[in-house]
Structure 1
Amino acid sequence: MNAPIIDPLQGDFPEVIEEYLEHGVMKCIAFNRRGTLLAAGCSDGNCVIWDFETRGIAKELRDKECNAAITSVCWSKYGHRILVSAADKSLTLWDVVSGERITRTILQQTPLQARLHPGSSTPSLCLACPLSSAPMIVDLTTGSTTVLPVSVPDAGNGLVPASRNKFSDGTPPFTPTAACFNKYGDLVYVGNSKGEILIIDYKTIQVHAMVPVTGGAVIKNIVFSRNGQYLLTNSNDRTLRIYENLLPLKDGRRALDDLEATHKELNGVEKLKAVGSKCLTLFRDFQDSVTKVHWKAPCFSGDGEWVVGGCASKGEHKIYIWDRAGHLVKILEGPKEALIDLAWHPVHPIVVSVSLTGLVYIWAKDYTENWSAFAPDFKELEENEEYVEREDEFDLVPETEKVKESDVNEDDEVDIVTLEKDSAFSDSDMSQDELCFLPAIPSPDVPEQQDKGVESSSKLVDSNHSGSPLSEEAGPNGRATNHASSPLEDNSIADDAGGSRMKRKRKPSEKILELQAEKVKKPLKPSGRLSKVKNKSVADLDNAEDNSNLYI
């Protein structure tokens, strides 16, 4: 779509289903950093990588040891690696270009979500959120795990050991806990079942700040915006909340030390809350006050201007879109299939959603072309109007002034090598080779089962067979398979029990049978060409294999 003819007053959010992707039963999706590749985890344990520009499959990652459903997929920062978590308690790290498995780690619990460390181009650390245990840092190289704290005691210095596995108020040990890295991966933000956001240094396993969430409901999802300035939480009270990140994007750990130094007089939970108030502040909350629906897979748009959440109701495929100010701007209604995952394209106003049936729907913007952008005096009409020209409109007017000369110096060299820095990827390292596309590998067509060896088609078939001059041979299922092509044959195809294809033969006419009998008594010599037939005489046979091609 040409940018000059797009109406600038239209909102940059999707509106309609453009198309859908189908490959097995897909469960979860994730875009790479540029949005050129889309990874989808399937129910059979495979991971499919789609070329999002052509909507074709670029690569399929198959693990013979994994037959369980994929629970999450995550790209590395520059797209060279993919982390896949599965229901068989495995974490698998793949090399995208070669399609080879790098490492495979088995956990004690099923990981519902796994995220690679965002601060490295070739990460070996990941954050895993298991089904019934606390979030943990996993070293994919060695397989070692470090469990993160999910609560703080009511007294003490606020540091919780990693071995703590029960809340002080006697609640169940763990519910599925949400956690995520910040933009550069030096801190982990954990949302627990007591409605608290904990800011943890994963290297020292210490809680440095705590932010209580209004209502104290269980936090099901927690995710940062792409630029790291906003944090989005999804709670059991059916409310989405946006928090503004007050810490610097880089060196957030050092900023926490400075905040702790300013609150030396406080201890325990009071100190953690005081520091937390300087780290996050509530910006906006979203909820459907009418239907009171639960939300699933909330996320930001690529530029952070829009907030999107999927409806968690069964049998409904609805996507709600708000602007950051809190206004509901669009409700996308899809087919009557439950929504299980969604993702916003990093650059374009496109949302991709996954249905319970395993289809991936692509929601795009319904553009309205603004043709008046081509000329300032161009006027668009809602309906036809009768035009009345002016009296002097078509009079010849002598040229009164010269056309202004262009100020562009045509002798200057045009730089076509230097790349302009994209504001959407301001943290890109130009020295790092980023994987944006995969080479297309065409998949060969499966050849149909063909009949074996016709050594010579010049032999005549004995009259003990079908009585036809057509060359026949026993197929793999013991049936006779026709090898000759004739205009007298019926070209319809019949599938037999063995799955092979056979041509139906047409019963030869009496004239052909007579000719065949004469041929058996006295074979004709091949003539090289068919002569024309007059007075119902028969043409000479070109070859014995074409003796069915008779012109009567």
Structure 2
Amino acid sequence: MNEALISPFIINHPTAVQTSLYSYRAQLSRFDPSGRFVGVGTFDGTAYIYDMDTKAAVRTLDGHVKNITSLDWSRHSRYVLTSSKDWNVIVWDLSLTCDPPQRFATIRLDAPVSSASFHPRNSQIVLALTSTGEVYLQDLRPSYRERFELCEPQEEGEDEEHSRRAAMTVARFDPSGKHIFIGTSSGHILVFNTRTRVMVGRHKVSGAGGMKGFEFAKSGRRLLTNSSDRTLRQFNLPTYPRPGEGILETELEPTHRFNDPITKTAWNAMSYSPDGEWLAGGSADPASHKIYIWDISNDGQFTTALDGGRDSLLHLHWHPSKSSIVSTALHGNIFIWHSPNPERWGAFAGGFEEVDENVEYEEKEDEFDVEDEEEILKRKMKAEEEDVDVDSLEDDAHQNVQLISQNDEDDHWADQEPDEDATSWKMKIVIMEGGDTLP
């Protein structure tokens, strides 16, 4: 049966394992933006690209000598980024016909790399975090060719002896790429403007302890944090000032807290569904492979826990457009979870709803009443007589114009010298067992 005919309008949460892949010593796995491929990073420094149509590895990326710590995709999946404890970040071009693919770029840092990611609008801009607590913004575009370290500014009157800041433990672009969010070991969230590298926000999260991970909803207005107190917190983000207009210093209050009330387990990973209505949290329990699901649209209520056996979970990632999750187990298994929904043919009849049993319909008293035209006219006339606060509207319009101007400027900077990551590129598919290639 055509998969598109199975509840195509609603993204539910996965409930069962659809299939499993095996990649020796896999450490993490991540869907590409199209959802067709899964990138896998291993402990031995090799990355693999799996095709979800065939469930087979189609490319091998062999360039690191130590374990891979993160993997990221460009927006159209042409480029793959891998970071490693061997102090290197490698960018791979999957459009190249040679096998194995050649390195498109290599970034050498001064310490083991904890994580790295592409800018959402340009894969030539890379954000990297080292294990020693430094964050670097690397620009590979020919006109820039620079590396900039993001540092928390020193306060006035503070001498160098007392100016040591807490180590930076997590760094992420927001979905728009306009801001960089950095978490510290002291429980602070620092926000930098990507274009100017100027800090525009500093937030304290009470009781959180050191920051371990960030995750953004697709809209970019919600931030989820994973911290050392074994609690996931969701925040609604404020609007940040323009560079040069000061630093927004506030204490963020979470809208929701998510934890395991029974075992008090920590979390290894978390991921939002594409519509932001569901949240998956990967447990750090060493004796089980557990994924907890919360319903964000229903005030963050706990929904279910998915059990993948006794092989502990290392990483998980939600499919970019479907009810599917990929999770990585300690001993190499990669589970693809899905939602086996029954076929709902009634969903395709416009204006009708399919029900499981006969129900009696009760007509409302005013359901088919036609409103008197005179009443409509009176309501419109009354609305026209209301006073309009012209001053407030002008202030709001001025702020909106400033915000649009800033966004345009940030977008223009990121789009200068764009990469070649277009939707028209094609990847050479390699069948790993036989060595034959497919166009």
Contact 1:92 1:104 in 2 (8 A): yes
Q: CA deviation at 1:285?
A: 1.8
Length, aligned pairs only: 366
On the 8 A contact 1:105/1:140 being kept in 2, the answer is no
Q: 1:56 to 1:287 in 2, by over 3 A?
A: same
SS of equivalent residue, structure 1 residue 147: strand
**Which residue pairs with 1:479 in the alignment?**
none
For residue 54 of structure 1, what is the amino acid of its counterpart?
A: T
Partner of residue 173, structure 2: 181
Tell me the CA shift for residue 349 of structure 1. 0.6
Asked if 1:340 corresponds to 2:314, the answer is yes
Q: Secondary structure at the residue paired with 1:177?
A: strand
Cα distance 1:374–1:82, how it changes in 2: closer, same or farther (>3 A)? Answer: closer
Q: Distance in 2 between matches of 1:377 and 1:77?
A: 37
Q: Which residue of 1 aligns with 2:202?
A: 210
Contact 2:269–2:281 (CA under 8 A) maintained in structure 1? yes
The residue number in structure 2 matching 1:282 is 254
Structure with more relative contact order (C-alpha pairs < 8 Å, separation 6 or more): 2
TM-score normalised by the chain length of structure 1: 0.59
Cα 1:374–1:302 change in 2 (3 A) is: closer
Structure 1 position 109, deviation (Å): 1.3
Q: Where does residue 303 of structure 1 map in the other structure?
A: 275
Is 2:29 the partner of 1:29?
yes
- Structure 1 residues 34 and 379 mapped into 2: Cα distance closer, same or farther (>3 Å)? closer
Deviations 1:11-49 (A, max 9, x none): 701011111111322111222111111111122322111
User: Match for residue 388 of structure 2?
Assistant: none
Report the CA distance between 1:216 and its aligned residue.
4.3
Q: Is the Cα–Cα contact under 8 Å of residues 36 and 437 in structure 1 kept in the other structure?
A: no
Superposition deviation, residue 362 in structure 1: 0.6
Corresponding residue SS for 2:242 = helix
Contact 1:5 1:373 in 2 (8 A): no
Map of 1:192 onto structure 2? 184
Query: Within 5 A, what are the aligned runs for 1:83-102?
Result: 83-98=81-96, 99-102=101-104
Q: Which secondary structure does the structure 1 equivalent of 2:429 belong to?
A: coil
TM superposition shift of 1:83? 0.9
Would the alpha carbon gap of residues 289 and 108 (structure 1) be closer, same or farther in structure 2, given more than 3 Å must change?
A: same
Please tell me whether residue 360 in structure 1 is matched to residue 334 in structure 2. yes
Q: What SS class does the counterpart of residue 279 from structure 2 fall into?
A: strand
Structure having the higher strand fraction is 2
Aligned to 1:119: 121
CA–CA distance in 2 between the matches of 1:370 and 1:148? 52
Displacement of 1:445 in angstroms is 3.7
Mapping for residues 206-285 of structure 1, pairs under 5 Å: 206-247=198-239, 255-257=241-243, 260=246, 272-273=248-249, 276=250, 282-285=254-257
CA spacing shift, 1:296–1:152, aligned 2, 3 Å: farther
Instruction: Tell me how far 1:56 sits from its aligned partner.
Output: 2.0
In structure 1, stretches of 5+ residues that fail to align are: 168-172, 261-270, 382-428, 447-552
Paired amino acid for 2:427? L
Instruction: Give the drift of 1:439.
Output: 3.9
Counterpart amino acid of residue 177 in structure 2: G
**Deviation of 1:119 (Å):** 2.0
Aligned AA for 2:72? C
Q: Give the letter for the 1:39 counterpart.
A: G
CA displacement, residues 259-301 of structure 1 (integer Å, 9 cap, x when unaligned): 64xxxxxxxxxx641xx47xx7633221222221111111211
2:426 is aligned with 1:433: no
Cα separation, partners in 2 of 1:136 and 1:14, compared to 1, 3 Å: same
Q: What is the rounded CA distance, in whole Å, between the counterparts of 1:75 and 1:157 in structure 2?
A: 43
1:204 & 1:51 partners in 2: Cα distance? 39
Q: Tell me how far apart the structure 1 counterparts of residues 186 and 232 of structure 2 sit (CA, whole Å).
A: 16
Amino acid of the residue matched to residue 107 of structure 1? Answer: L
Distance 1:14 1:335, change over 3 A: same
Q: 1:116–1:125: 8 Å Cα contact kept in structure 2? A: yes
**Cα separation, 2, equivalents of 1:118 and 1:374:** 35
Q: Judging changes above 3 Å, is the alpha-carbon distance between structure 1 residues 11 and 80 closer, same or farther for their aligned structure 2 residues?
A: closer
Among residues 41, 65, 68, which one is paired with 2:66 in the alignment? 68
Equivalent pair of 1:78/1:435 in contact (CA under 8 Å): no
Shift of 1:195: 1.2
Distance 1:236 1:340, change over 3 A: same
Within-5 A mapping of 1:107-146: 107-120=109-122, 123-140=123-140, 145-146=147-148
Q: 1:60 to 1:204 in 2, by over 3 A?
A: same
Going from structure 1 to structure 2, the CA distance change for 1:107 and 1:373 (only over 3 Å counts) comes to closer
After superposition, residues 135-534 of structure 1 pair within 5 angstroms as 135-140=135-140, 145-149=147-151, 151=152, 155-156=155-156, 166-167=164-165, 174=167, 177-247=169-239, 255-257=241-243, 260=246, 272-273=248-249, 276=250, 282-324=254-296, 325-370=299-344, 433-434=422-423, 438-443=427-432, 445=434
Is residue 52 from structure 1 mapped to residue 24 from structure 2 by the alignment? no
2:182 partner letter? V
Contact 1:50–1:57 (CA under 8 A) maintained in structure 2: yes
Shift of 1:257: 4.6
Change (3 A) 1:208 1:42: same
1:492 corresponds to = none
Q: Take 2:170 and 2:84, find their aligned partners in 1: how far apart are those partners? A: 17
> What's the CA shift for 1:60?
1.5
Show the counterpart of 1:424: none
Radius of gyration: which is bigger? 1
What does residue 457 of structure 1 align with? none
Q: Which amino acid aligns with 2:105?
A: T
Alpha-carbon separation, structure 2, partners of 1:107 and 1:352: 30
User: Partner of 2:430: helix, strand, or coil?
Assistant: coil
Q: Which amino acid aligns with 1:227?
A: S
- Alpha-carbon distance change, 243 to 437 in structure 1, aligned in 2, over 3 angstroms: farther
Q: Which amino acid aligns with 1:326?
A: G
Asked if structure 1 preserves the Cα contact closer than 8 Å seen for 2:212 and 2:227, the reply is: yes
CA-CA distance at 1:368 after TM superposition = 2.5
Shift of 1:373: 6.4
Distance 1:10 1:182 in 2: 26
1:178 is paired with a residue whose SS is strand
- In the alignment, structure 2 segments of 5+ residues that lack a partner are 358-417
Task: Please give the alpha-carbon distance, in whole angstroms, between the structure 1 residues aligned to 2:38 and 2:2.
Answer: 24
Q: Deviations 1:69-115 (Å, cap 9, x if unpaired)? A: 11111111121111111121111111111122112222111111101
| 2:126–2:137 CA contact under 8 A, matched in 1 | yes
The one-letter amino acid paired with 1:317 is H
What amino acid sits opposite 1:119 in the alignment?
Answer: R
The alpha-carbon distance between structure 1 residues 56 and 438, as it changes in their structure 2 partners (threshold 3 A), is farther
Which position in structure 2 is the counterpart of 1:78?
76
